[in-house]
Structure 1
């Protein structure tokens, strides 16, 4: 099943690198994930399109607000260490865990 993963951030360069690495990791695992990133200011517009929403650590203070806006979607902050090291595989594993636990 194709899943639309959206990562909201402060629109930094590191997020686009992380998204690229997440796409590679998903492909290597045979997962049909479409991964994109947007500025947090786009949440109202892009959030409805997502199956899963992740927030970059720099915008984690929006977590409760995003959960309230999209109560039917799994929403979490990206693991801070994974974000800092641009570890796309670790974030993909976080997403797999979210799906399994339906957080």
Structure 2
């Protein structure tokens, strides 16, 4: 089953490395997921363009979770929202994250 994932970060700087690592891990597991990322200020635009099955929040973005859930409800999107823990992000522990979203 293919899933679409949106990774939300503060400014987009660390996202490209994280997404690259995630794509590498997905390939190793034979999973064909679509992975995209956006800084928090572009989330509304991204959600207007596409529905995402999973939304991952970088550790510094977790404070926006309530607003994000309201936005998803407003747009009638049913997405699984998961915050990435500090240690998962720092160590790029994609395996632990994938366990939650499969």
Instruction: Tell me the TM-score normalized by structure 1.
Output: 0.82
Distance (whole Å) between structure 2 residues aligned to residue 74 and residue 88 of structure 1: 17
The alignment of Structure 1 onto Structure 2 pairs a total of residues equal to 96
Please report how far the alpha carbon of residue 90 of structure 1 lies from its aligned counterpart in structure 2 after TM superposition.
Answer: 2.3
Distance (whole Å) between structure 2 residues aligned to residue 61 and residue 94 of structure 1: 20
Q: What is the aligned counterpart of 1:90 among 82, 93, 96?
A: 96
Distance (whole Å) between structure 2 residues aligned to residue 69 and residue 81 of structure 1: 27
What stretches of structure 2 of length at least 5 have no aligned partner? none
Distance (whole Å) between structure 1 residues aligned to residue 16 and residue 100 of structure 2: 18
What stretches of structure 1 of length at least 5 have no aligned partner? 97-103
Instruction: Tell me the TM-score normalized by structure 2.
Output: 0.83
Aligned-partner SS, 2:31? coil
Higher helix share: 1
How big is the alpha-carbon RMSD for the aligned residues of Structure 1 and Structure 2? Answer: 1.5
